[in-house]
Structure 1
Amino acid sequence: MKSSPPAITAGLLALLWTAFQPAFADNVRLQSLDGLMSVEGELISVDGDELVVATVVGTVRFPQAKVECFGAACPPPPEAEDTAPQDEPQADVPRGDVAISGSDILIERMLPDVLDHFSRTRAGSSLSRGGDDQAGWRYTMTNEAGAVISLAAISGGARQGIEDLISGRADIALVSRPMTETEAGRLLDGGLTAVRAAGLESVLATDGLVIVTDSSVGISSIRLGDIARVFAGKITNWEALGGPNLPITVFARESGSGTRDALNAAIMQPYDEDISQRVIGVDSDRGIADAVLAFPGSIGVTSFYATAGARALELEEPCGLFAAPEPFAMQTGRYPLTRHLYAYTRPDAATDGLAAELIRYLQSQEGQEALSEMGYIGHRITREGLENQRVRLAEAVATPPQEALLEPLREMVETLIAAERISPTFRPYSENGGDVLAKADARRLAEEIAAGRFDGRELLFVGFTDEFAAAPEDGLVRAQADALAVVAQVRGAGPDFEGRNVALRAVGYGGLSPLACSGTPIGKDINRRVEVWSRPLAESQ
């Protein structure tokens, strides 16, 4: 059966559009070339080979070569289909004492709350806001003496935020993906290594790509490879995934957004797939969830912070492990599609002035506490209940390892069964912000120890590797070495805590407790780690 491009139920789509759209002078009707889809809406612009139409779920893009356009505002039909990727237009960044540009999830959602908290840390300051999502926002901070500081912000996506930073149009880029090596080299000679050494990169919080559907699809989990094939247009019906005989409508962020870049990097590229031209582009992460809720049989990928009631699917791995998009799983890196939210500053704004003050606040204990209070997954140290960890230990016992590892397995269970897992998890070898996160977590943990929050306890630094080595002892040795290195990093990262009544101990258990399928690219990234556990000192005697 031939599916409609994009695979939307024509009657539902037409009904929604015509019911909610007022009579604009630039209204058009778009019809797919096979006649199975008809859409009415306000034509906002023609961007390259795409028609940009206002909808009840936000701005939606339709490939001009895939539809016929009817109405006075329609552009001339294209001579031929052009599949070359189009760059997003760049909006001017409004200027203030500090200019900020970047991803919508940070500029439109996080930044207003952050600035409200930040203004309260500056004695007697009050904050006001004006503007909109098209021209940008202007924040005014006024202190008791009447001194005024202005901050300007615009959300144009991660790519534009970084470009604005490089060009000098912005002092800070708040983005949902890390800089590429090429982008970093344009900002500072020496690329990412130099950017990080200069302190221009900060990891503010943790997020995750979440696969969302509506309740009509009847499935609760999906494999990464199947996600790639759905977004590539190779799986077009839910029946192929164990669901009903229902066409799949696919929504994704528009080109230039950090969420789309992350979708490409984390899902499409590892499976050698490209996002299909039939995927419908939406202009915000929240708009993805709204679209999924509006159209039965649809799927989208969005931010953890923008699921808005849509059904979030668990990720199923080939070896039978499952990962749910939950805060602790993202904070510890257990969730395979974990990503981080970054701040980048220009070299001339990194050490002095309001931009540097704002970044220091966000990295501080106070700033991280504020982010957690706002509902973000910050880097404040949290704990997971013993019950969840006991389930994990029971799973390790249920899969007996090689004989040479039976004694280490017994020791691991005895050591950890009464301990409490805390959130710092070190993956300095990970390409997903590993080294930057490791340094920040080591400093934060050292500060907590120095403040006495772990007095009377033993902190266990527990190393794991990805897979069982040919000689099992090799994995144990490597895991122990990783754990010892993290202990040394924590001791040297912050204030001196030698006088505190706390013990630090490194242990290694090789591949005894995998969190992801061993031997896969994601497995190697997730499984090689150093966890931190806490237990009373008496338990270690």
Structure 2
Amino acid sequence: MVILLRAAVCAALSFWITAFSAFAQDVTLTSRDSRVEITGTLLGFDGEFYRLETDYGELTVDGSGVLCSGPGCPNLDDFVAELQLSGSATMGSILMPALVEAFAENTGHQTERRVDGPDEFTYLIRSKDSGKLAAEFHFNVSDSDEGFADLLADEADIVMALREIRPDERARAREAGLGDMTARNRSRVLALDALVPIVAAKNPVRAISPQALADVFAGKITNWQVLGGPDAPIDLHMPAAGSGLAQAIDDLVMMPAKLTLTESMARHDTLAELAAAVVDDGLALGLTAYAERQGAAVLSLTGRCGFSLDASRRTIKTEDYPLTAPMFLYYPARRLPQIAREFLAFTRGPSAQIVIRRAGFVDQTPEEIAVEEQGNRFANAITVAGLETTLEELQRMANTLTPMARLTTSFRFEVGSIRLDAQSRSNVEQLARAMEIGRYDARRLMFVGFSDGDGPAQANREIALKRADAVRRAVSEAAVAANLDRVVLDIDAFGEAMPMACDDSAWGRQANRRVEVWVR
């Protein structure tokens, strides 16, 4: 009986494996001289290259050299490129549609938006001249978690995220053959936003320290009187749990303070609802996106040293505002259809930057800020100078930088690491491309390192100088097509001589550890 049962199971298993193999081998690619033949599951076709799962692993094959046979073969005459985008609702509902429509207009196409479900829609992109369908861009808008999950399940080509990829997601992506998602050309910052604390205009409180902000949302501070306001309870408002912005709040506000969020708060499905609730409640404090502050008053971030930082397009672009929240695109190490590659290239260009600004977000176009437009930075440097920051060093800094202008492109490092953070890695590519097209030919770029005030001043300056040199080398290596003989790349460092924020918090120290770019 046992033998018969085993035989039956083996027969069934053998049939299932055979059937599965027959189904999996849905296409065969044959070289034009018929000498090479590859059979496997068609994972994708971009109009030029086939992507197959085979017995030898995942292969990419040039379509011009093979003939395709089998039920899975695409129609080469009426090929329609498909692109799957998944992730952040903020990006997918507002920013990306605006960019898709602008891209179509700029490339002689027209768009039609088709609603596929509550959180799904498709842009049909057609030629204006012939009306022929060229591409379908499918959007699944939910949150960053869902976007990365779809990527790992091979159900998305591009992830829209309001946070960096997590270490476990990065490891699973490697295991799935998607490459290192933090490597060069695997991710980029599309635009910038920021977390801002908001109150009603009639609320007398106008500033809060990052530590106090974390204490409030952890439930440790519950009365406005502690913050200099009336003797009244603080009503808290937050984005929906699990959203990319809520995760950014955990990363940027709560984790540096080693605190967790209290449960005593109102959650909102949309940021418009959140802002409206705060405006209507004079005793409310909310955390939202800079682009969605609407009619609410935004609190300045301050510290015990007296420095104050306000969220603005310029301070967000330079990352001087400590709660800057980059908007990421992640894509695996595989070819995308040509029209998709053209779209991604468009999103880096000047036309796309205008669209990003009009959508209410902060664009990535480098700007030059003259010294007289930089506020009280030099005055603050003199005010907080310690015994180790000499007058001679302050004069050297002023004499070096005053004839130059600061670029809004800045570089910062991961906490406790010499590795550039995600936004800075994107900035390396951006500055390198500008050098490749000759934007800084016959000019001088100086990478200037600054540090926090922990430790001896001379040691801090040496560390800052090494970081400046590391950034210079990274940009030089990335600018492969640039003629580096046409631009002067210098480095210098002034250590702790020009702090952006108070050193009494992790946020302040992180803001102070930076490499700026100055141009002349």
TM-score w.r.t. the length of structure 2 is 0.77
Residue 503 to residue 171, structure 1, CA distance change in 2 (3 Å): closer
* Aligned positions, number: 437
Counterpart position of 2:324: 338
Residue 198 to residue 490, structure 1, CA distance change in 2 (3 Å): closer
Deviation at 1:142, TM superposition (A): 0.6
Counterpart position of 1:419: 404
Counterpart position of 2:391: 406
The 1-side partners of 2:232 and 2:288 are apart by 22
State the secondary structure of the residue aligned to 1:142: strand
Residue 204 to residue 181, structure 1, CA distance change in 2 (3 Å): same
User: Which one of the candidate residues 476, 487, 491 is aligned to 2:461?
Assistant: 476
In structure 2, what residue type is equivalent to 1:314? S
Deviation at 1:492, TM superposition (A): 2.5
The 1-side partners of 2:306 and 2:179 are apart by 38
Residue 314 to residue 342, structure 1, CA distance change in 2 (3 Å): same
The 1-side partners of 2:202 and 2:413 are apart by 41
State the secondary structure of the residue aligned to 1:407: helix
1:297-376 alignment, distance < 5 Å = 297-348=283-334, 350-364=335-349, 367-368=352-353, 370-372=355-357, 374-376=359-361
User: Which one of the candidate residues 357, 381, 387 is aligned to 1:396?
Assistant: 381
User: Which one of the candidate residues 502, 512, 518 is aligned to 1:527?
Assistant: 512
1:502-517 alignment, distance < 5 Å = 502-517=487-502
In structure 2, what residue type is equivalent to 1:409? L
State the secondary structure of the residue aligned to 1:422: strand
Counterpart position of 2:173: 187
Question: What's the % identity of the aligned pairs?
Answer: 28
1:128 correspondence with 2:96: no
In structure 1, what residue type is equivalent to 2:462? V
In structure 1, what residue type is equivalent to 2:296? A
Is the 1:166–1:346 contact (alpha carbons within 8 Å) kept by the matching residues of 2? no
The 2-side partners of 1:525 and 1:307 are apart by 25
Counterpart position of 1:493: 478
1:102 correspondence with 2:87: yes
Q: Indicate the larger mover: 290-299 or 518-527.
A: 518-527
1:443 correspondence with 2:426: no
The 2-side partners of 1:150 and 1:467 are apart by 53
Segments of structure 2 that go 5 or more residues without pairing to the other structure are 1-80
Counterpart position of 2:78: none
User: Which one of the candidate residues 141, 146, 152 is aligned to 1:166?
Assistant: 152
Deviation at 1:301, TM superposition (A): 0.8
State the secondary structure of the residue aligned to 2:305: coil
The 2-side partners of 1:238 and 1:401 are apart by 34
1:204 correspondence with 2:190: yes
Residue 404 to residue 262, structure 1, CA distance change in 2 (3 Å): closer
State the secondary structure of the residue aligned to 1:197: coil
Is the 1:390–1:417 contact (alpha carbons within 8 Å) kept by the matching residues of 2? no
The 2-side partners of 1:512 and 1:316 are apart by 19
Is the 2:121–2:139 contact (alpha carbons within 8 Å) kept by the matching residues of 1? yes
Counterpart position of 1:254: 240
Residue 195 to residue 450, structure 1, CA distance change in 2 (3 Å): closer
Q: Indicate the larger mover: 512-521 or 398-407.
A: 398-407
Deviation at 1:98, TM superposition (A): 2.2
In structure 2, what residue type is equivalent to 1:228? A
In structure 2, what residue type is equivalent to 1:305? A
The 2-side partners of 1:189 and 1:289 are apart by 41
Counterpart position of 1:118: 103
Deviation at 1:316, TM superposition (A): 1.2
Q: Indicate the larger mover: 443-452 or 236-245.
A: 443-452
State the secondary structure of the residue aligned to 1:179: coil
The 2-side partners of 1:339 and 1:102 are apart by 15
Is the 1:133–1:155 contact (alpha carbons within 8 Å) kept by the matching residues of 2? no
State the secondary structure of the residue aligned to 2:219: coil
Give the RMSD, CA atoms, in angstroms: 2.8
The 2-side partners of 1:492 and 1:351 are apart by 25
Is the 1:450–1:496 contact (alpha carbons within 8 Å) kept by the matching residues of 2? yes
Counterpart position of 1:242: 228
In structure 2, what residue type is equivalent to 1:199? N
User: Which one of the candidate residues 347, 356, 371 is aligned to 1:386?
Assistant: 371
Cα deviation 1:93-120 (Å, max 9, x = unaligned): xxx9222222221111101211111212
Is the 2:389–2:497 contact (alpha carbons within 8 Å) kept by the matching residues of 1? no
State the secondary structure of the residue aligned to 1:188: helix
Segments of structure 1 that go 5 or more residues without pairing to the other structure are 1-95, 536-541
Deviation at 1:452, TM superposition (A): 4.3
Deviation at 1:388, TM superposition (A): 3.7
Is the 2:86–2:160 contact (alpha carbons within 8 Å) kept by the matching residues of 1? yes
Residue 403 to residue 298, structure 1, CA distance change in 2 (3 Å): closer
State the secondary structure of the residue aligned to 1:434: coil
Residue 285 to residue 518, structure 1, CA distance change in 2 (3 Å): same
1:295 correspondence with 2:261: no
User: Which one of the candidate residues 246, 264, 269 is aligned to 2:250?
Assistant: 264
Residue 118 to residue 249, structure 1, CA distance change in 2 (3 Å): same
The 2-side partners of 1:489 and 1:421 are apart by 19
Cα deviation 1:292-349 (Å, max 9, x = unaligned): 122221111111111112111111123322111111111111111111111122444x
Is the 1:98–1:354 contact (alpha carbons within 8 Å) kept by the matching residues of 2? no
TM-score w.r.t. the length of structure 1 is 0.74
State the secondary structure of the residue aligned to 2:484: coil
The 1-side partners of 2:415 and 2:351 are apart by 27
Q: Indicate the larger mover: 125-134 or 187-196.
A: 187-196
1:231 correspondence with 2:245: no
Is the 1:207–1:304 contact (alpha carbons within 8 Å) kept by the matching residues of 2? yes
In structure 1, what residue type is equivalent to 2:278? V
In structure 2, what residue type is equivalent to 1:437? Q
The 2-side partners of 1:188 and 1:520 are apart by 35
The 1-side partners of 2:350 and 2:493 are apart by 30
